[in-house]
Structures are given as C-alpha cells and as structure tokens.
C-alpha cells in the first residue's frame, strides 16, 4: 500500500478551495509581522495582550535560561519538575482563585490529561457541539459514552442529565467558543450540574486574559468561584507563551500528578517558557490596563466593520468573525487583503467551521494602535468593495 491516497485527498482540498497554504512569519509576533519580506498588519494571532514579544517576558526567559538551562531533562514525575514550575503553579492558582494548578506542555495536552483521568468506559460525558478539537479528542481517549448537545442549548443539556442520573457524568464546555466568540452559559450549566449531581469542566483558553477582573477568566466573569470542578487553561494565547494547565481543588491536582498521562509520559515545559509565563501572570495581576485596551480595540473594530456593511457573527468577546458564507469568498477576501492591502487575516473554512459558514476571524489585540485598527478597517472596506461583498 503506498501513500498516494494522500495526494488524492490533497487535490480534493485544493479543488474545493480548502487547502491552507501556511504563511511563514519572519520574526516576532506583534501588531505587525514580516511575511515574504513584506510588513503586514497581523489580524490573526491569539496574542491578545501583545505579551508574546513583551520585553519583560523576554528578559524573564533569558534569565531563566542562564540559571536553569534550556531543557527540562525528563518528564516531570521523574526529574523534570523544578522550582520554576512549582512557583508558576502557585501563581496561577492564586490568579485563578483555585486551590491548586498543574501545568502541561499545551492546552491541548491539558484536555488529553484531565478528561480520561476523570471518566472511563462506564461513564458519561455531555459536551457542547462546538467544543474545541482537544476536548473532543480527550473525550475519545477516555472511552466514556459521549452525548453532544446543540450549541448552548440548556434544555437539551438538562434532558441528557435527566436521562443519565445515577451514572458518573462530566459536563464539558468551552468558556469562549473560539470560532464564534460567544460565551458559554456557565451559571446555568453549574446550576443544572449541581441539581443532577454531575461534574463540571470549562476550557477557558479564550477567556483567560480576556474575561473577568484582570483577565482571570470565565469563572471570575460570572462570579462562579468554587462552583466549577475543573478549569482548563492555556498559556499559549493571552499569556503570550506556550503551555496549558488545569486549575481546581488540591485533590484534583494531586490525582492528576499520579495519573494524567501527558504529565507522566511527556517532558515538561522549558524553563524559559515557565519564567515568561510567570512574568505574564505578574503583569496581569498588577494591572488590568492591557485587558481594557484589548476590549476598547475590539469594540472599536467590531463597530467600524459592521458600519462598513460586513456581517459579524454573534460574538460577545474580542473574537471577531466576519461572516462570508462560502469558503471561496472567505479565501478570496483573505487573499485580496494579503496581496493588495498588506493585511494578514486568515480565512477559516470547513472543517474548522461548518460548510457555508466560512469566515475571516479577525483577532484584534492590545498591541494594535488606533492607527493600526484604522489601517485594517480601511483595507477591509476597499477589498470588500472590490469583491462586491459590501
Ligand atoms: C487553543 C485552544 C486549546 C489549545 O491550546 P494550546 O495551548 O494551543 O494547545 C484548547 N482549548 C481551546 C478551547 C482552545 O481554544
């Protein structure tokens, strides 16, 4: 058997305009990036607060390398945990207002770690239809029976909870849905889960650094401290570095250190990553200036782009889905912006979003200036007019 069937798949993707040519960034992440030698306005990164190239984070990473070197040496349970990991976890627990935190190599890994640790073959997971791929994969790994409820449909959730009474049930939701920017009805999920005796888990990857006081996330946003059993987070988005974590009770974290497979069988985050993350948490703890600038920028951009005649999805956060429908339209606008306007705004198409719901997901950040935003808005207007979209 040869691998030529892969070529057929790739050709089909190209034919249906679903093939993604990945752009190479030559230099650091920021409001502007260099691609193919051109300076481009960056409207697609999850670097919400501009921390990915922040001088204080760079300096913290460099200092950590001087003291701790570059590699962790082993998985954390054998020889890979150092005092930096421990300190970061204490800081994150304080930031999230939970008893304890365990860090992982990525948010994706944190989901693969925690879901199979909590439920198995005999158990039930109830999951929102738009949950992130890493939640879906974590659910599959657990071998639990998975029931999916329509996006944010609390009546459907309650029905499934009712049908599965007497079993161990884990309810999982994204906090902020990454492709649409809407927020999970977490107070209602917490209330229903309590009523039916289910365990609750929220993946706050797009909520941290964005929602709640000082960007503490969705639980803080709704004042639900102590009412959600498991919080998954990422250090790769607003925190500007890389990594993931689980926040919750000391009991939960103690258990994960004994049983979570990505913790036990994959090496730790490097010292530079961890030290930079510590600095990000310190900056957020000390001031909410970056968070409020992010929101100001997002509100301005969303208002202007709607006034220009574009259709936005039902976002409640800085995630800005400019809805275009067919994949080819989203690709055409993205390409026009890239080639003619020096704006990097990636089209998001099937299978990341459903067929017919292609979009450009604009990610405005605290690092963008008023001038940058106006540049981007003018570019969208010109390209949209040329393509007959507005
Ligand atoms: C981005 C994202 C992840 C993955 O986080 P990484 O740290 O990049 O692995 C997990 N869950 C959700 C909801 C996300 O949006």
d(CA 303, CA 317) in angstroms, rounded, equals 13
Q: What is the mean pLDDT of residues 127-131?
A: 97
pLDDT tens-digit series, residues 310-346: 999 999 999 999 999 999 999 999 999 999 999 999 9
Task: Indicate the Cα dihedral angle 156, 160, 163, 168, nearest 10°.
Answer: -160
Q: Ligand 1: which of 46, 108, 114 to mutate, most ligand atoms within 8 Å of CB?
A: 108
Sheet holding 244-248, edge to edge: 100-104, 244-248, 230-234, 199-203, 169-174, 124-128, 145-149
Token pair for residue 255?
């258990």
pLDDT tens-digit series, residues 153-173: 999 999 999 999 999 999 999
pLDDT tens-digit series, residues 138-148: 999 999 999 99
Q: What is the mean pLDDT of residues 241-267?
A: 97
Residue 17 has pLDDT above 80, yes or no: no
Domain with CATH 3.40.640.10 in the chain: 55-286
First to last CA, the chain: 50
Q: How far is the CA of 246 from the centre of ligand 1 (A)?
A: 12
d(CA 54, CA 377) in angstroms, rounded, equals 25
pLDDT tens-digit series, residues 334-344: 999 999 999 99
pLDDT tens-digit series, residues 213-227: 999 999 999 999 999
pLDDT tens-digit series, residues 275-295: 999 999 999 999 999 999 999
Q: What is the mean pLDDT of residues 196-202?
A: 98
pLDDT at 20: 83
Q: What is the CATH number assigned to the segment(s) 21-48+288-386?
A: 3.90.1150.10
Domain with CATH 3.90.1150.10 in the chain: 21-48+288-386
CATH class of 55-286: alpha beta
pLDDT, averaged across the chain: 97
Percent of the chain with pLDDT over 70: 100
pLDDT at 1: 82
Q: What are the Cα distances from residue 80, in Å, to 4, 106, 330?
A: 41, 16, 44
For ligand 1, which residues put their CB under 6 angstroms from it? 106-108, 132, 134, 174, 178, 203, 205-206, 234, 236, 244
pLDDT at 368: 98
Q: What are phi and psi of 378, to 5 degrees?
A: -60, -40
d(CA 327, CA 373) in angstroms, rounded, equals 25
């Amino acid at each position: 058997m040869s691998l030529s069937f892969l070529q057929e798949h790739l050709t089909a993707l190209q034919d249906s305009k679903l093939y993604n040519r990945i752009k190479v960034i030559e230099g650091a992440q920021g409001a502007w990036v260099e691609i193919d030698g051109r300076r481009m306005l960056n409207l697609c990164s999850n670097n919400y607060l501009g921390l990915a190239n922040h001088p204080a984070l760079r300096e913290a990473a460099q200092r950590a390398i001087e003291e701790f070197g570059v590699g962790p040496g082993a998985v954390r349970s054998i020889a890979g945990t150092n005092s930096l990991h421990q300190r970061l976890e204490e800081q994150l627990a304080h930031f999230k207002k939970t008893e304890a935190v365990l860090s992982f190599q990525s948010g994706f890994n944190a989901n693969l770690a925690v879901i199979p640790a909590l439920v198995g073959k005999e158990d039930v997971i109830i999951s929102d239809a738009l949950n992130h791929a890493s939640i879906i994969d974590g659910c599959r790994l657990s071998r639990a029976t998975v029931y999916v409820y329509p996006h944010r449909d609390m009546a459907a959730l309650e029905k499934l909870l009712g049908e599965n009474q007497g079993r161990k049930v884990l309810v999982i939701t994204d906090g902020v849905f990454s492709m649409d920017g809407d927020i999970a009805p977490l107070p209602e999920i917490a209330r229903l889960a309590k009523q039916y005796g289910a365990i609750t888990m929220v993946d706050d990857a797009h909520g941290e650094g964005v929602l709640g006081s000082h960007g503490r996330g969705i639980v803080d946003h709704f004042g639900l401290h102590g009412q959600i059993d498991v919080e998954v987070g990422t250090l790769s988005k607003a925190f500007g570095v890389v990594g993931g974590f689980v926040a919750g009770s000391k009991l939960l974290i103690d258990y994960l250190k004994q049983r979570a497979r990505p913790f036990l069988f994959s090496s730790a985050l490097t010292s530079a990553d961890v030290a930079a993350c510590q600095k990000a948490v310190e900056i957020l703890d000390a001031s909410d200036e970056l968070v409020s600038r992010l929101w100001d920028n997002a509100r301005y951009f969303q208002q202007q782009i709607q006034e220009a005649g574009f259709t936005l999805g039902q976002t409640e956060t800085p995630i800005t889905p400019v809805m275009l429908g067919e994949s080819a339209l989203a690709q055409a606008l993205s390409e026009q912006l890239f080639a003619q306007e020096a704006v990097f705004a990636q089209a998001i198409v099937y299978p990341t979003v459903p067929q017919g719901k292609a979009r450009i997901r604009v990610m405005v950040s605290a690092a963008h200036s008023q001038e940058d935003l106006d540049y981007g808005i003018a570019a969208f207007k010109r390209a949209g007019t040329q393509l007959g979209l507005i």
